[in-house]
Structures are given as C-alpha cells and as structure tokens.
Chain A
Amino acid sequence: EPEVTQTPSHQVTQMGQEVILRCVPISNHLYFYWYRQILGQKVEFLVSFYNNEISEKSEIFDDQFSVERPDGSNFTLKIRSTKLEDSAMYFCASTFTRASSTDTQYFGPGTRLTVL
C-alpha cells in the first residue's frame, strides 16, 4: 500500500539554525499538508499546498516557515531560524483531491524536531 514517508525521523538542532524537514507524498497525490504536534498538545494545521502554491495557512505559519516542492516527489518544510518553541512532531500529509469523506489525508510517521 502506498504511504507517505518523512525524513529524518528525529532532528536535533541548535536555536537559530535552519532546518529542512522532508516528505515524500504518495505519488499521484496533488494536495500536500504540514501539521505539527507540540508534546502534550493537539495536532495543529500549518499549511496546505496545491499546484505549487500555498492554498491555506494557519497563523502559526509565519515568515520563519516556508514550503517547497523542489521536484516531482519531495515536499519540504523549512524553518529559517528555529526557536525553542518549534520543538514538536511535524507530520506531512497528502491527498489526491481536497479531503472529503472518501479521499482523506494520508499521514506520514512524523519528524520529531528538538531545538536546543
């Protein structure tokens, strides 16, 4: 069964450093998402991406964040200058169409980001 993959599984970085989290969505999917989950808190939507542009973003997704689909397979989330509060589990998701009852978002296993 096709699946969403994410690398690395765990990333440790120093505050102020740039990090790039990588995702390979399911190959025929067209919509891509990033979510994050701070330890002990709920999973929060960050951004959705379609046709090489952001279609929706939350208030969390400020100028420190950017997304890119650099080639036909990868979908990346960049945090330009990490802060302690960026420590979280980051989930990538993809779907063929906009999520509906029968075409839901498929999630990757997550990347745990630890900012020291």
Chain B
Amino acid sequence: GEDVEQSLFLSVREGDSSVINCTYTDSSSTYLYWYKQEPGAGLQLLTYIFSNMDMKQDQRLTVLLNKKDKHLSLRIADTQTGDSAIYFCAETSNSNSGYALNFGKGTSLLVTP
C-alpha cells in the first residue's frame, strides 16, 4: 500500500514552535489530515488540507503542503505543555471507495517547561 512516513519523536520547550513533518507516496491523495491523540483518548482531528492548497492556517496551527515533494508539515506556534501528544498524519484519496484513511505511525511530541 501507499506509505505515510513521520519522524517518531520531537521534543520542544514551552513557548517555542513545533514542526512535525510527514511524507506520503500516493500521488492521488486528495485530503491530508493531522490527528492528535492524547493518552487514553481517541484520535482527534486537528486540521486538514485539500491537495490543491499549499497552506492553511488555523489559530496556532499552520499546515504546509508541498505536493510536488509529497511533503506535509504541521507547525504549532507557542507550543504549550498541553500540546504534548502523538500527532498522526493521514491521507485519503478518491481511489478509496470508502475514503479509508491511511495513517503514518505518529510523532510523539513532548513539550518541556
């Protein structure tokens, strides 16, 4: 199947910006998502971007998409300790009849005071 790759760990200091990167291989990806998982909780949608966009900003979150390089990033400004969680990149495409999501392994973000 198509791959979605993420780095596994990221540690930042409170107040700094965090940048979580993701690469994918499916050139027919239509929608790309960032999900957040806090301990013991389900996957919470943070933001998404459609493949014909290259940037989307939503409060502290900025998503950048480089479709040519198949690279997606999530920037969290002014990172807080409450942002510590696992962040999953996911993609789906029109080729999936049920729009099944294809996830990366997740990036564990640790925010230190």
State which residues 21-65 of B face A: CB under 8 Å. Answer: 31, 33, 35, 40-45, 48-50
Kindly list chain A residues whose C-beta atoms are within 8 Å of the C-beta of B104: 42
CB pair A44 B98 closer than 8 Å: no
CB pair B103 A99 closer than 8 Å: no
A53 to B77, alpha carbons, bound, how many Å? 43
11 A-B residue pairings within 8 Å (CB atoms): A42-B104, A43-B101, A43-B103, A45-B100, A48-B99, A93-B43, A98-B98, A99-B31, A101-B31, A105-B101, A109-B42
A interface list, Cβ under 8 A from B: 3-4, 31, 33, 35, 40-45, 48, 50, 55-56, 58, 91, 93, 98-101, 104-110
B interface list, Cβ under 8 A from A: 4, 31, 33, 35, 40-45, 48-50, 88, 90, 92, 96-106
CB pair B48 A4 closer than 8 Å: no
Kindly list chain B residues whose C-beta atoms are within 8 Å of the C-beta of A106: 45
Kindly list chain A residues whose C-beta atoms are within 8 Å of the C-beta of B33: 104
Other-chain contact of A58, B4, B49, B90, B100 (Cβ < 8 Å)? B100
A64 to B103, alpha carbons, bound, how many Å? 23
A94 to chain B, nearest CB (A): 11
Kindly list chain A residues whose C-beta atoms are within 8 Å of the C-beta of B43: 43, 91, 93, 107
A75 to B102, alpha carbons, bound, how many Å? 21
Kindly list chain A residues whose C-beta atoms are within 8 Å of the C-beta of B88: 43
A33 to B40, alpha carbons, bound, how many Å? 19
A45 to B99, alpha carbons, bound, how many Å? 10
Q: Which chain B residue shows the least CB distance to A49?
A: B98
Q: Which chain A residue shows the least CB distance to B35?
A: A107
B52 to chain A, nearest CB (A): 11
CB pair B97 A109 closer than 8 Å: no
A42 to B101, alpha carbons, bound, how many Å? 11
CB pair B103 A44 closer than 8 Å: yes
A31 to B100, alpha carbons, bound, how many Å? 11
A35 to B4, alpha carbons, bound, how many Å? 16
Kindly list chain A residues whose C-beta atoms are within 8 Å of the C-beta of B44: 107
